[in-house]
């Protein structure tokens, strides 16, 4: 008997899950991916697309196994065992893989790099600006730092500043933060910490201390948020709207739905250390596929076990900082910086496409003792 599997979302996690299902499923599964566009968006390169130093789009056909079916559509509801499509059709399923990912929160008149349309709009705006125009990046997590550095390096005529309430590159150890700050200084980025942006206008940013900074273009690089498809479909979600699953990524109220990638919240004891990242999304997609195959075979699925390996930051095309981390995402001693760091990061970005294309992927195991044996709640957003 052939099992019909619908994968909603063709990002890193969804493509990995679909390709792994058909390659390990030995003809037992028929897989259809539903995605709003026929292109794969390399979100980890969207700051490059915005700055004009790279292209973040590839045809989905170039990453999906030819045995995987593709429907171009944005799913608006999951109803019972079918996915109604806006064109009036519907897709029935025996199993569904929920892989809708994340995007940047939208703030007033700010630009974003969290999704394709936002990055394309930012690219157009940057090209319109004149020498000396101020560009403000708000938020100095990894995405904000990468964006400020990329714009400053590729548009040296613009006055780029980076604003943050907390330290620059907050997840890095102090040594790493120093290196990142030094590189930003060399690129001419003005860094201001301890300030909070309250309101973003078309040509200014209001700070919490009452000052209004002139800003011809403002990029909001705060935390990611997830689509509300699970919530509007009446599926169980955490406070951030992520699908709640058990340790094997099975939805807590729907054994026929498995969640993967940024849009899911497995229990903290197996997933609290997993940042919303492509680094986690790829093994989450692979684990989700293995869970579906185990269910089909009547085997108990394995619990999630994913260890973090690196924190990688590009600092323009000629600089980067790659910090090795333990499985629980805490920093190890070893780090690579400068041009070598940039080259390592570039190789990793290229590697992601190879991994998801084959569906054959091995990854580091999670922290040995688990993070919190007593807790049963879902992971919190990073």
Shortest Cβ distance from residue 45 to ligand FAD (Å)? 7
Which of 5, 7, 12, 159 contacts ligand FAD by CB under 6 A?
A: 12
Which residues, at least 6 apart from 115, have a Cβ–Cβ distance to it below 8 Å?
41, 43, 46, 103, 104
- Give the three-class secondary structure for 169: coil
| Residue closer to ligand FAD (CB basis): 146 or 246 | 146
- Do residues 18 and 7 lie in contact, with contact meaning Cβ atoms separated by under 8 Å? yes
Q: Establish if 18 lies at the interface with ligand FAD (CB under 6 A).
A: no
Q: Establish if 229 lies at the interface with ligand FAD (CB under 6 A).
A: yes
Which of 6, 18, 34, 51 contacts ligand FAD by CB under 6 A?
A: 34
φ, ψ for residue 41, nearest 5 deg:
-100, 115
Shortest Cβ distance from residue 367 to ligand FAD (Å)? 18
Q: Establish if 286 lies at the interface with ligand FAD (CB under 6 A).
A: no
Q: Establish if 36 lies at the interface with ligand FAD (CB under 6 A).
A: yes
| Residue closer to ligand FAD (CB basis): 29 or 274 | 274
Shortest Cβ distance from residue 150 to ligand FAD (Å)? 9
Q: What is the enclosing helix (H) or strand (E) of 259?
A: strand 254-259
- Cα(240)–Cα(32) distance, integer angstroms: 27
Pick the stretch among 43-51, 131-139, 151-159, 177-185 that binds ligand FAD (CB under 6 A). Answer: 43-51
- Cα(220)–Cα(292) distance, integer angstroms: 37
Residue sitting closest to ligand FAD (CB): 11
Residues that contact ligand FAD, how many (by CB under 6 A): 35
Q: 287 vs 36, 47, 77, 138, CA distance in Å?
A: 24, 28, 24, 34
- Cα(188)–Cα(182) distance, integer angstroms: 10
| Residue closer to ligand FAD (CB basis): 16 or 29 | 16
Q: Establish if 54 lies at the interface with ligand FAD (CB under 6 A).
A: no
């Amino acid at each position: 008997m052939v099992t019909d599997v619908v994968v909603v979302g063709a990002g890193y996690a969804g493509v990995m899950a679909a390709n792994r299902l058909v390659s390990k499923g030995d003809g037992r599964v028929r897989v259809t991916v539903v995605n709003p566009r026929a292109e794969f968006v390399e979100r980890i390169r969207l700051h490059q697309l915005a700055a004009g130093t790279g292209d973040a789009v590839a045809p989905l056909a170039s990453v999906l196994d030819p045995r995987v079916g593709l429907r171009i559509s944005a799913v608006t509801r999951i109803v019972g065992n079918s996915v109604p499509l806006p064109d009036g059709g519907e897709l029935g399923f025996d199993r569904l893989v929920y892989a809708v990912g994340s995007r940047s929160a939208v703030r007033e008149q700010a630009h974003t790099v969290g999704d394709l349309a936002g990055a394309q709009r930012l690219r157009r705006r940057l090209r319109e600006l004149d020498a000396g125009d101020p560009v403000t990046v708000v938020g100095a997590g990894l995405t904000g730092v990468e964006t400020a550095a990329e714009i400053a390096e590729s548009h040296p005529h613009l006055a780029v500043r980076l604003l943050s309430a907390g330290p620059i590159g907050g997840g890095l150890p102090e040594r790493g933060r120093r290196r990142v700050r030094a590189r930003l200084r060399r690129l001419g980025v003005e860094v201001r910490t301890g300030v909070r942006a309250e309101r973003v206008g078309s040509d200014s940013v209001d700070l919490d201390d009452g000052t209004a900074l002139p800003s011809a273009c403002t990029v909001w690089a705060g935390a990611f948020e997830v689509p509300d498809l699970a919530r509007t479909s009446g599926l169980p979600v955490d406070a951030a709207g992520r699908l709640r699953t058990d340790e094997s990524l099975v939805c807590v109220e729907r054994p026929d739905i498995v969640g993967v990638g940024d849009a899911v919240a497995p229990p903290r004891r197996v997933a609290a250390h997993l940042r919303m990242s492509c680094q986690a999304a790829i093994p989450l997609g692979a684990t989700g596929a293995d869970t579906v195959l185990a269910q089909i075979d009547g085997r108990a699925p394995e619990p999630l076990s994913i260890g973090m390996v690196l924190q990688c930051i590009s600092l323009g095309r000629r600089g980067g900082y790659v910090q090795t981390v333990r499985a629980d995402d805490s920093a190890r001693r070893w780090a690579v910086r400068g041009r070598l760091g940039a080259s390592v990061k570039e190789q990793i970005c290229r590697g992601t496409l190879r991994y998801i294309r084959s569906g054959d992927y091995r990854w580091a195991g999670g922290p040995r003792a688990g993070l919190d044996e007593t807790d049963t709640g879902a992971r919190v957003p990073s």
